[in-house]
Amino acid sequence: MSDRPDPLPTPEQVRARLDALRAGRGYLLPHHGALAAAAPDLHAAYEQMYAALTRTQRHLDPFEKEFVWLALLVALKEAIGTHHLQMFRGAGGSEAQARAAFRLAGYAGAAEAFEFVGQHWQDWFPTTDPHAAYLDGATRLGDPSIPDATCHLALLAVHAALGRQWGVAAHIRAAYAAGVAEEKLVEALSLIIWPAGVNRFVEACTTWFELMHAGAVTPSARFRAWAETPGQGAFRR
């Protein structure tokens, strides 16, 4: 088997590929053309991963998935992701529910204040549990039509995308307490791979792994198999 990529396409093949992509997605972004013209094998792999990551119906229902996406796009200031706004509407999302996603995305920054209090002033506020106080605020900012579990999934993804592990830990613990399926946590976290990169996903999964090891959450048998596998972490000489 050769590691060399396929021959570069002709201009006609590039146009045909982009026309097919536009027809399938309903829109086209400039990077699609760059990959189609210079790295068609990478472009094909890119499209396959995009489909598996964002279009495949897995564990989140359409509203849950698009609510998570809406909070993510706001938190990361990804104005270009307007197709997800259409998908949110298509999943039955209302403007009031969108405002809840906006509020939650903004509130995520408050986690750093509660983290600070827990690290430096806990003796001054001994009856204040920083995680519980932060989560109480998140619950108040939701919408009556949106389950708390869905809000936890959205904020879990936001904190993971921003690399804020204190918030990741808070929402993983809250999700377990609320009985949220672990598969939904994986899917919500995996969405950040596209806008924030795989390293943020690795960091969030590391936090989850450490919570399982510490006994802070009780995993199911399948996830315990992950937690009990030795030798996980960065390569060491």
The domains of the chain are located at 1-56, 60-227
Query: How is domain 60-227 classified at the architecture level of CATH?
Result: Up-down Bundle (1.20)
Q: From the CA atom positions of the chain, what is the Rg in Å?
A: 20
What is the C-alpha separation between 115 and 163, in angstroms, rounded?
Answer: 14
- Determine contact, residues 154/100, Cβ cutoff 8 Å: no
| pLDDT one-digit tens code per residue, 50-72 | 887 778 788 999 999 999 999 99
pLDDT bracket for residue 3 (50, 70, 90): low
| pLDDT one-digit tens code per residue, 153-183 | 999 999 999 999 999 999 999 999 999 999 9
pLDDT (average), residues 200-213: 96
Lowest mean pLDDT among 12-26, 80-94, 143-157: 12-26
Residues 6+ apart with CB under 8 A from 25: 83
**Of residues 74 and 51, which shows the higher confidence score?**
74
